[in-house]
Structure 1
Amino acid sequence: MRIRNIDKNISDDLLQVYKVFRAAYAVEAEILDVPPTSFFPLTLTLEDLEKSEDEIFGIEVDGTLAGAIFLEKSNHTITISSLVVDPKYFRKGLGKSLINYVLQKYRTMNFLAGTGSKNIPAIKLYEKFGFQATSEETVEPSIRRVNLKRLARDH
């Protein structure tokens, strides 16, 4: 496994991230019981990802991009705007590795994340890293999102 920064100027990198993004969110749409055509992440285009100001780190397995984490930075806070793993690699520790990587890289920063309230595996993953639920809100007519926060640690 190798984690690396994704360069949005390299079209093949971005295309691979987009494919993983779509595959992962198709599964989340099923978990949340929403039609894929109306699930916001699945409405995003390759161009939307390219224009995004998020910093993206990808994780490779045997040279194949298998997951990515999208970070939005502001002041002393980083928001994990997306954490995606190709369904072929679910339950292999890739999401855990990506979260651990960014928590170590930016250990003096506070972190925010959000996920569908029905996405119990994602919530449990964040909780393993010290994230705590701070609120829950309706983000689409049939989707409730849990917002999570982890305060900075300087060690």
Structure 2
Amino acid sequence: MQGFEIVKAEKSDLQEILDLQYLAYQSEAALFGTQDIPPLKQTIDEVIVEYNNGVILKVECKGQIIGSIRAKFKDNTVYIGKLMVHPQYRNKGLGKKLLKEIESVYPNCRYELFTSTLSINNLRLYESIGYKEYERKKVNDMLTFVYLEKR
């Protein structure tokens, strides 16, 4: 895919990123049959805290933010979260590019992320670039998180 670039988000981008998050996570909500999932309940103030305590990258195409990823570094581990791509731009390699870019921001570390067992496409993506499952945590009858790492 051409005509896009991945750069660090500015504070002025955060509302647009949150709006993208609400759109992008609709597919996850559909997997669970509920809108009651954390990414759809996050506030702008919570995104600002994440911005101040880590790194948020964005993908821009024609002046619109079409993807984003967040990470926070602690104790030689990079905790990756909120990887999202606009539904119209999925399956074009942007998720993989965002993951590789966040790894380049924090080179030579341990990387950790999680998703649900129902998120088959996410698991396939993470495993395709070297992430390995190391733990599962059952939240409730509907939800089990899969924790993956890459060293």
How big is the shift at 1:142? 2.1
How big is the shift at 1:51? 2.2
Q: Over residues 34-73 of structure 1, what are the superposed CA-to-partner deviations in whole Å (9 max), with x where a residue is unaligned?
A: 310x212211112211122231000112221101001011
> Matches of 2:130 and 2:107 in 1, distance apart?
13
- Aligned pairs for 1:105-120 (under 5 A) are 105-120=105-120
Query: Structure 1 residue aligned with 2:38, among 26, 37, 40?
Result: 40
Cα distance change of structure 1 residues 105 and 35 upon mapping to structure 2, 3 Å threshold: same
How big is the shift at 1:140? 4.9
How big is the shift at 1:75? 2.2
8 A contact 1:57–1:69 mirrored in 2: yes
> Matches of 1:35 and 1:93 in 2, distance apart?
28
**In the alignment, which residue of structure 1 is the partner of 2:15?**
15
TM-score by length of 2: 0.90
**In the alignment, which residue of structure 2 is the partner of 1:30?**
30
TM-score by length of 1: 0.88
Q: How many residues are paired up? A: 146
How big is the shift at 1:101? 1.0
How big is the shift at 1:22? 0.9
How big is the shift at 1:141? 5.2
**In the alignment, which residue of structure 2 is the partner of 1:5?**
8
8 A contact 1:116–1:144 mirrored in 2: yes
- Aligned pairs for 1:94-109 (under 5 A) are 94-109=94-109
| Stretch moving more, 102-111 or 14-23 | 102-111
Q: Over residues 88-136 of structure 1, what are the superposed CA-to-partner deviations in whole Å (9 max), with x where a residue is unaligned?
A: 2111211111011122332211100001111111111111111000111
- Give percent identity, aligned residues only: 26
Q: Name structure 2 gaps, 5 residues minimum.
A: none
Secondary structure (helix, strand or coil) at the match of 1:92 reads coil
How big is the shift at 1:80? 0.5
> Matches of 2:19 and 2:63 in 1, distance apart?
15
> Matches of 2:5 and 2:118 in 1, distance apart?
30
Cα distance change of structure 1 residues 73 and 136 upon mapping to structure 2, 3 Å threshold: same
Secondary structure (helix, strand or coil) at the match of 1:35 reads coil
